[in-house]
Amino acid sequence: MCCWCIWGGRSYFYNKNTRYRYCFQHQALLKIIYESRRAALRAAKRDNNIPVATPPKEVVTPNTPERWKDEGLDYRNRRLYIFEFLLNLLTFRFHIREDKEAIYPDDKGNQPAHFNAGEPPEKLKKHYYFKK
């Protein structure tokens, strides 16, 4: 599988419809960390019913300062993928944002590099972690 236990445990309960595993050895709910950036992006698309081969309508990067600020992005973000779909004369927008690794002084809440996914203007709450 494309995931690993951060503590090196071997016994897992894994449901393919979720992004978490339960490690029996460490009695902890683990985040899935995908082997590659590509695998994490494909999982984010798949979980949100976006065809994997569909390119984004727009990619916002740091070298576009006006759009970067319009979307509320800052130094923690790498890029924002904007997908738009027309369904029954309604346009649906969906965002997938790539974030940098976050390391905190007390080591609580550290996050590896990841994608956040969701519908704007709500907070992008779904996380898809990947190894560098």
103-121: average pLDDT: 84
> What residues contact residue 81 under an 8 Å CB cut-off, 6+ apart?
56, 58, 59, 95, 96, 97, 98
pLDDT over threshold 50, residue 17: no
Q: Are 83 and 39 in contact (CB under 8 A)?
A: no
Q: Residue 47 corresponds to which tokens in the numbers above?
A: 């979980």
Which pTM was predicted? Answer: 0.74
Report the candidate in 86, 87, 92 with the shortest Cα–Cα distance to residue 118: 92
Name the pLDDT band for 106 (thresholds 50, 70, 90): confident
**Four-CA torsion 90, 70, 130, 84, nearest 10 degrees:** 20
**DSSP 8-state class, residue 104:** -
Please give the structure tokens belonging to residue 36.
């590659």
> Token match 């905190």: residue?
104
113 bridge partner residues? none
Residue 116 and residue 97 in contact, taking contact as beta carbons nearer than 8 Å: yes
| Domain spans in the chain, listed from the N-terminal domain onward | 1-31, 33-130
Residue 108 has pLDDT above 80, yes or no: no
- The answer, yes or no, to whether residue 64 has pLDDT greater than 70, is yes
